[in-house]
């Protein structure tokens, strides 16, 4: 397992939270042309008006709950940092990167690393120090590593960072670790199932898997990544309306890639304690001669 270090870098960003009445739902086509889920999600955190965001997705009611964060992977290349999408990019041994994770509201954040060798541990909070999960304020940046860069060293393989953002701390961190390392199809204990019911995961890779499609249909949710074109957003809205879905997870890379990717859980219900789970693969291959 590669060695990661982190720190919380302070930033002063104010968030306006204004109470707003929710207008009657209208058709998704009424959302302004060119609007993106990423952009309207940011507007939601400013004014708490979820009507337009709900329309764009195709929900029958306004949005009442959003859990969201931005993540970015920067590759050092020829002395300059280049943003890359880790779900599309293969790193080479010797490459150096740094990662930033920025919540869009105040969340308790957990970062769990599963190495290519199968070893795993919490990076945040540091399980070796038995720390409690920190409350990361909106706009503050969690940086990996603290200084310098992560270097891909042999053997080649795939590490995975699992990021959990939640409005309330997870009561049993050991159960969370067990859940994050479960393989598909493995039976859950009652404690694991109770926690699992709160976990809202985005897609693990660039394309949704057969397993994720099955999960989405079984739980009547949506799981989408991309949505950069009007046609894709209209397809999403048709799916949502046809199945009468009221919650889902979304990943939307920024148009130019420079702002990284927004990962979001968006629901028309304000109840419960949903926890956003974001998977960041770090895939490395041998450097060609």
Q: Would you say 104 and 98 are in contact if contact means Cβ atoms under 8 Å apart? A: no
pTM: 0.87
Pairing mode, strands 141-144 and 91-92: unpaired
CA distance 103 to 109: 9
Q: Which two tokens stand for residue 230?
A: 């009007």
Q: What angle do CA 83, 35, 228 make, to 5 degrees?
A: 45
Instruction: List, for the chain, all residue ranges whose pLDDT scores fall below the cut of 50.
Output: 7-33
pLDDT value of position 121? 93
Chain Cα centroid distance, residue 180:
14
Q: Which of 36, 37, 32 is nearest to 68 (CA)?
A: 37
How big, in percent rounded to 5, are the helix, strand and coil portions of the chain? Answer: 20, 35, 45
Q: Would you say 126 and 133 are in contact if contact means Cβ atoms under 8 Å apart? A: no
| Backbone phi, psi, residue 250, to 5° | -140, 145
Q: Which two tokens stand for residue 240?
A: 């949502």
pLDDT value of position 21? 30
Q: Which of 163, 165, 181 is nearest to 115 (CA)?
A: 181
Which helix H or strand E contains 232, and what residues bound it? helix 230-243
Q: What pLDDT digit, counting tens, does each position of 1-60 carry?
A: 555 555 444 332 222 222 233 333 334 444 444 588 999 999 999 999 999 999 999 999
């Amino acid at each position: 397992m590669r060695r990661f270090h982190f720190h919380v870098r302070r930033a002063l960003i104010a968030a306006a939270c204004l109470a707003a009445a929710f207008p009657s739902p209208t058709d998704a086509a009424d959302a302004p042309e060119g609007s993106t889920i990423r952009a309207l999600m940011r507007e939601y955190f400013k004014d708490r008006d979820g009507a337009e965001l709900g329309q764009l997705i195709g929900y029958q009611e306004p949005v009442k709950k959003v859990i969201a964060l931005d993540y970015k992977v920067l590759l050092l290349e020829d002395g300059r940092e280049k943003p890359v999408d880790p779900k599309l990019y293969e790193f080479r041994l010797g490459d150096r990167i740094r990662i930033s994770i920025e919540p869009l509201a105040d969340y308790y954040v957990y970062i769990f690393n599963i190495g290519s060798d199968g070893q795993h541990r919490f990076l945040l909070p540091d399980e070796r120090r038995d720390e409690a999960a920190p409350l990361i304020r909106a706009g503050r940046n969690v940086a990996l590593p603290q200084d310098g860069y992560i270097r891909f060293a042999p053997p080649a393989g795939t590490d995975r960072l699992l990021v959990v953002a939640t409005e309330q701390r997870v009561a049993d961190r050991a159960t969370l670790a067990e859940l994050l390392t479960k393989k598909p199809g493995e039976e859950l204990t009652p404690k694991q199932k109770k926690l699992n019911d709160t976990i809202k995961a985005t897609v693990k890779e660039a394309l949704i898997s057969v397993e994720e499609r099955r999960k989405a249909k079984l739980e009547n949710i949506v799981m989408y990544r991309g949505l950069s074109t009007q046609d894709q957003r209209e397809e999403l809205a048709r799916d949502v309306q046809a199945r009468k879905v009221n919650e889902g997870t979304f990943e939307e890379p920024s148009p130019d890639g420079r702002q990284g990717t927004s990962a979001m859980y968006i629901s028309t219900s304000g109840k419960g304690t949903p926890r956003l789970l974001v998977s960041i693969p770090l895939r490395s291959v041998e450097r060609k001669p």
